[in-house]
Amino acid sequence: MKFATALLFSVLAALTSLASQANEPPATPKPDLAKGAATAAVCTACHSVDGSRGSPSQPILQGQHPEYLVKQLIEFKSGKRANAIMQGFAATLSEQDMRNVAAFYASKSAKPGFAKQPQLVALGEKIYRGGIAERSIPACSGCHGPTGAGIPALYPRMGGQHAEYTEAQLTAFRGGVRQNSAQMTGIAAKLNDLEIKALADYIAGMH
């Protein structure tokens, strides 16, 4: 009798374990850097061969947090972030493709950038590190870190980014053209042209 009871409990435990495993979502495959490099080959015209310092109007992708890159690609694909070229490209990608290409770019190290307008650096540093209290503008360093390294999965790496690209994105947030971050829309809405330009130039020289 004891043997039968023990056997019954053993069978029930095994069935419970199998049911639990069946309900678990399948494990996400690890990113494939080789496949990511193949996907990135299509991006060369705008982002250079490996996402390095290409056209100033396009972002430097090297060293960017892969979670952030995947998020942006998903939002381009869904239309939450508007850009005709990127929406068309993202539409062809599966989420695994996105993880692969994001991992490829993240595996690279971007060369340091530099500020081009020394007269604006002090203003940019002041806003980045301390914000503007009287206008309730928070310090950028609170989310993007003191060196612009960002926080994986939450906030992008900023340090060394093209000043022209950062300026364009802050302006887009301020004007409501870029709408995939309510937080950034609210902050950029309080910045004037000079402050945006100063921030962008200071960030370009961070490393």
Cβ(48)–Cβ(76) below 8 Å: no
Domain that holds residue 65: 33-106
Say yes or no: 42 and 84 in one domain: yes
In-domain check, residue 113: no
Same domain, 86 and 49: yes
Q: Which of 44, 72, 106 is the last residue of a domain?
A: 106
Residue whose pair of structure tokens reads 């053209």 in the numeric block: 177
At residue 122, the pLDDT reads 97
Residue 171, exposed/middle/buried by CB under 10 A (0-12, 13-18, 19+)?
middle
With respect to residue 43, please indicate whether it lies within any of the assigned structural domains. yes
Residue 123 and residue 200 in one domain: yes
Answer whether residue 7 is part of any domain: no
pLDDT above 50: residue 8: no
Domain boundary among 81, 106, 131: 106
Residue 4 has pLDDT above 70, yes or no: no
- Do 153 and 194 have their domain in common? yes
Q: Are residues 191 and 127 in the same domain?
A: yes
Identify whether 25 is part of a domain.
Answer: no
In a domain, 199, yes or no: yes
- Determine contact, residues 85/23, Cβ cutoff 8 Å: no
State which of 45, 79, 106 marks the end of a domain.
106
Give the list of residues 6+ apart from residue 164 with CB closer than 8 angstroms, or none. 56, 57, 200
Enter the tokens of residue 180. 């995939």
Same domain, 180 and 122: yes
149 lies in the same domain as 185: yes
Distance CA 35, CA 98 (A): 10
Q: How confident is the model over 145-202, as pLDDT tens digits?
A: 999 999 998 899 999 999 999 999 999 999 999 999 999 999 999 999 999 999 999 9
- What CATH number does the domain containing 184 carry? 1.10.760.10
Give the tens place of pLDDT for each residue, 23-78.
556 678 899 999 999 999 999 999 999 999 888 999 999 999 999 999 999 999 99
Query: Mean pLDDT throughout 2-31?
Result: 58
Query: Residue 190 domain-assigned?
Result: yes
- Residues 103, 73 contacting (CB under 8 angstroms): no
Separation CA 16–CA 158 (nearest Å): 48
Give the count of domains, the chain. Answer: 2
